[in-house]
Chain A
């Protein structure tokens, strides 16, 4: 069962050192733009898989291997994060 990007806010904060659930993800396959919070997230596999809600293509895969987070973002065309205010 798919969850959504809210469920990996902590993991993404660990990787990007920024709050990412409200970041906007652009799917490299279909061009859909949506907040990371609204993507489809599968936690049960060997890694965390994030898919586009519109076309179901894989956007991100995050796997943790021997203390390293391996992050594959090749399904994303863009990831827009609001800059921290000074």
Chain B
């Protein structure tokens, strides 16, 4: 932390949108220019503050999608009744500015020293911090074994699909599609259940480290399944999100 002005002090800074990229019909990745970014750990968040001309402001917390050393990026899912996400996913253009503070949180985070084997389980856009963990693992040259089980409604809703498919052999990536499966689908179908975990979850005897991120009911159901498989609660890290 040498060189940091005041330890622990969190201040808003102005971020400029560098690029935007659509991941799915309703999900967009936004890369930010943040000149004073101090670096971050995989799994951390940042807060975004948008202020309207009339002074009304709204704050939201987003997981950081990129690994440390890469341009800071967030991946935002549009909620049609949302106040902030329709703007971020539809209106925002490169060159636009917003206020950002972070990085935030050091509980739902992973670094190579935390070891593994890693079991990452994502529901919907809960894949975002887990993608940051996978990217950080790869960039750091970590050899900790990693498996990702990623639950989406349909194949069109899978975020980062091309990138995740490239991990084959290095990290194992498994998909389950809960609502619709394309013809000839070779992955899992339906909600994450014990039968899937029987195939994918590392045995508790290997002292795996699990990260679960998704909507609240998803996270609670999966965490219960892992505890039933004798994962100690202290090795099951959870992060719940919901629309706002």
**Hey, which bits of chain A sit against chain B, CB under 8 A?**
1-7, 9-10, 13-14, 16-19, 21-22, 35-38, 43-44, 84
Contacts and interface: CB of A to CB of B under 8 A. Distances in A.
Given A1-B216, A43-B244, A44-B244, A6 B10 contact: no
Interface in B96-144: 101-102, 104-108
Contacts of A16: 8
Nearest to B108: A6
B47 A21 contact: no
A3 B241 contact: yes
A13 B104 contact: yes
A35 B237 CA distance: 10
A5 B104 CA distance: 11
A40 B194 CA distance: 25
A38 B101 CA distance: 22
A4 B45 contact: no
B107 A17 contact: no
Given A17-B9, A22-B106, A84-B8, A10 B45 contact: yes
Chain B interface SS verdict (over half): strand
Interface string B51-85: 00000000101000000000000000000000000
A4 B106 contact: no
B3 interface: no
A64 to B, nearest CB: 10
Given A21-B104, A84-B8, 18 more contacts: A3-B242, A4-B240, A5-B107, A6-B45, A6-B105, A9-B45, A9-B61, A10-B59, A10-B102, A10-B104, A13-B104, A14-B10, A17-B8, A18-B8, A19-B8, A22-B105, A37-B239, A38-B238
